[in-house]
């Protein structure tokens, strides 16, 4: 990709209203653009990062049998009426009116914009599941979610419209559901490890999804809005809403570790929903004896756009973003300075090797090019200039020391 053609250009100043680091740096770097509070365009650079995040998630979902599909975002009122979630939380603990966008069209028909898809998957299951032989089912999709968020701020961490990967599983028994729940927990841990996060798994309440205990995946981050408590020796952890122990107290699980309090950002959650949805929406299967039984059900979410914001919150410096290689928009930033003879050939050779490269071919000063490279945050910078001759100057985004090496060596280091 030629930087002279990249839309849009970087910005010197962050927007006045921006408070959070991800908001400031992602807007300045040209990754995202705000339409209104909580509503964002993922610009070409931002979309490249989100696609890399999504691919890591997709690989781990497929590895535990997930089948990808795509469900609609416009839902009729009737389907939300079946579980009572159309109504208010004042009348029903799972009432979701407060977080849903509900509206009438010009003929008076009522709809909601999707804030989740449990009811939609239940409808699919009752049309397609007859016997125990049709179970289990594991389906997932990546799509937009709408939530009427009263405090839409913190950049892409808290949006009214955002991207979500949601996986749903349906089972013949609680045992089968819980076995798969544990598998998803392991898959999620793999995903967040691959993304480069330092995270903890905490027990939490289920909000408008379930009255069962659930699990959250929390990235440790000083600028996070959540507070969690975890053991410094074992995997025990709880979020603030259900924690009843004492900070620095003894871990209730291993009885050895100390309880640590930390700020965090929630990037994923998993819910063992049980038969609550199947009973309300009449989703039954016939067991081996022909007896009708309700389907056991779980749902599992990760917010890729929230992951995008979290990556910036945990990995940046005063100059800009520092992308981990596995999610960087490009693998290499090629900086062409005046007098360079080999920029075009270096670019073509890198591309020929299948390496994603952003070539700064603009006619601007070296200072501006380096400042933009630090802001955009691609992990490896290669400079070609009059002085580098037929070699390239390699510099990591995080280390100050450049080294002059051959193009062949830099290709070996990249692959």
Q: How far apart are CA 230 and CA 248, in angstroms?
A: 10
From candidates 236, 243, 296, 323, binder to Zn ion by CB under 5 A: 236
Q: What are phi and psi of 362, to 5 degrees?
A: -70, 155
Dump the DSSP string for 281-336: HT-EEE-TTS-EEEPEEEEEEE-HHHHHHHHHHHSEETTEE---GGG-S-SEEEEE
Residue 170 contacts Zn ion per CB under 5 A: no
Left, alpha or beta for 57 (phi > 0: left; psi -120 to 50: alpha)? Answer: alpha
- Report phi then psi at 175, rounded to 5: -60, -45
Residue 232 engages Zn ion in binding (rule: CB under 5 A): no
Residue among 246, 253, 261, 341 that touches Zn ion (CB under 5 A):
253
How many other C-beta atoms can be found within 10 angstroms of the C-beta atom of residue 84? 15
Answer yes or no whether residue 234 interacts with Zn ion by CB under 5 A.
yes
| CB of 216 vs Zn ion, minimal distance in Å | 18
Site map 181..220 versus Zn ion, x via CB under 5 A: ----------------------------------------
**Options 107-115, 177-185, 249-257, 342-350: segment touching Zn ion (CB under 5 A):** 249-257
Closest distance between Zn ion and the C-beta of residue 203, in Å? Answer: 13
Q: Among the candidate windows 191-199, 251-259, 378-386, 397-405, which touches Zn ion by CB under 5 A?
A: 251-259
Q: How far is the CB of 199 from Zn ion (least distance, A)?
A: 16
Q: How big is the CA angle at 204 (ends 208 and 170), to the nearest 5 degrees?
A: 60
Closest residue by Cα to residue 22 from 302, 310, 328, 329: 310
Considering the complex, state which of residue 189 and residue 286 has its C-beta at the smaller distance from Zn ion.
189
Q: Does 251 bind Zn ion (CB under 5 A)?
A: yes
Q: Do 204 and 229 meet the contact criterion of CB atoms below 8 Å apart?
A: no
- The residue range among 58-66, 244-252, 271-279, 349-357 that interacts with Zn ion, by the rule CB under 5 A, is 244-252
Distance CA 397, CA 382 (A): 10
249 binds Zn ion (CB under 5 A): no
Q: Compare residues 153 and 185 and give the one whose CB is closer to Zn ion.
A: 185
Burial class from Cβ neighbours inside 10 Å (0-12, 13-18, 19+) for residue 323 reads buried
Q: How far is CA 93 from CA 19, 97, 289, in A?
A: 33, 11, 36
Segment lying near Zn ion (by CB under 5 A), choices 22-30, 41-49, 224-232, 299-307: 224-232
231 binds Zn ion (CB under 5 A): yes
Query: Contact letters (x/-) for Zn ion, 347-386, by CB under 5 A?
Result: ----------------------------------------
Q: Give residues 255-294 in contact with Zn ion (rule: CB under 5 A).
A: 257
SS3 213: strand
**What is the closest distance, in whole angstroms, from the C-beta atom of residue 249 to Zn ion in the complex?**
11
Looking at the Cβ atoms of 200 and 391, the one nearer to Zn ion is 200
Any contact of residue 254 with Zn ion (CB under 5 A)? yes
**Residue with Cβ nearer Zn ion (236 or 347):** 236
Nearest to 49 by CA among 82, 75, 26, 15: 26
Q: Where are the alpha helices (DSSP H) in 135-292?
A: 174-194, 276-281
**Which residues touch 77 (CB under 8 Å, ≥6 apart)?**
86, 102, 110, 111, 112
Phi (first) and psi of residue 177, to 5 degrees:
-60, -45
User: Contacts with Zn ion: how many residues (CB under 5 A)?
Assistant: 8
Does the footprint of Zn ion cover residue 168 (CB under 5 A)? Answer: no
Minimum separation from the CB atom of position 231 to Zn ion (A): 3
- Binding mask 301-330 vs Zn ion (x if CB under 5 A, - otherwise)? ------------------------------
**Taking CB under 5 A as the rule, does residue 250 contact Zn ion?**
no
- Coil, strand or helix at 80: helix
**Using CB under 5 A as the criterion, which residues of the chain lie in contact with Zn ion when the complex forms?**
231, 233-234, 236, 251, 253-254, 257
């Amino acid at each position: 990709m030629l930087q002279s053609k990249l839309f849009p250009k970087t910005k010197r100043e962050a927007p006045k209203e921006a408070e959070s680091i991800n908001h400031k740096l992602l807007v300045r770097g040209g990754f995202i653009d705000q339409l209104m509070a909580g509503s964002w365009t993922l610009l070409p650079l931002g979309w490249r990062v989100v696609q890399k995040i999504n691919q890591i998630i997709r690989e781990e979902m497929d590895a535990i049998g997930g089948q990808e599909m795509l469900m609609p975002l416009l839902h009729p009122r009737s389907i939300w009426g079946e579980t009572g979630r159309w109504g208010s939380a004042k009348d029903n603990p799972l009432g979701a009116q407060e977080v849903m966008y509900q509206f009438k069209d010009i003929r008076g028909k009522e709809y909601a914009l999707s804030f989740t898809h449990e009811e939609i998957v239940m409808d699919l299951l009752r049309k397609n599941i007859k016997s125990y032989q049709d179970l289990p089912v594991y389906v997932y999709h990546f799509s937009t979610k709408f939530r009427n968020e009263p405090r839409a701020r913190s950049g892409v961490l808290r949006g009214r419209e955002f991207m979500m990967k949601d996986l749903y599983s349906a089972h013949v028994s609680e045992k089968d559901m819980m076995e798969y729940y544990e598998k998803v927990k392991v898959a999620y841990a793999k995903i967040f490890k691959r993304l480069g996060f330092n995270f903890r798994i905490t027990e939490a309440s289920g909000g408008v999804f379930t009255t069962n205990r659930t699990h959250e995946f929390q990235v440790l981050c000083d600028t996070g809005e959540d507070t969690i408590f975890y053991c410094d020796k074992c995997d025990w952890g709880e979020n603030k809403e259900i924690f009843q122990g004492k900070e620095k107290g003894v871990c209730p699980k291993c009885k050895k570790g100390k309880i640590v309090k930390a700020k965090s950002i929630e990037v994923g959650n998993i819910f063992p929903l049980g038969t609550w949805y199947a009973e309300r929406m009449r989703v039954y299967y016939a067991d081996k004896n022909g007896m009708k039984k309700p389907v056991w059900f779980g749902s599992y979410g990760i917010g890729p756009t929230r992951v995008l914001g979290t990556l910036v919150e945990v990995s940046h410096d005063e100059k800009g973003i520092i992308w981990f290689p596995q999610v960087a928009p490009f693998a290499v930033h090629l900086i062409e300075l005046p007098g360079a003879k080999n920029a075009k050939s270096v670019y073509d050779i890198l591309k020929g090797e299948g390496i994603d490269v952003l070539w700064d071919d603009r006619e601007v000063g070296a200072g501006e090019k380096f400042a933009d490279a630090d802001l955009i945050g691609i992990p490896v910078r290669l400079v070609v200039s009059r002085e580098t001759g037929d070699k390239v100057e390699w510099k990591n985004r995080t280390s100050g020391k450049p080294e002059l090496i051959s193009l062949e060596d830099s290709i070996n280091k990249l692959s």
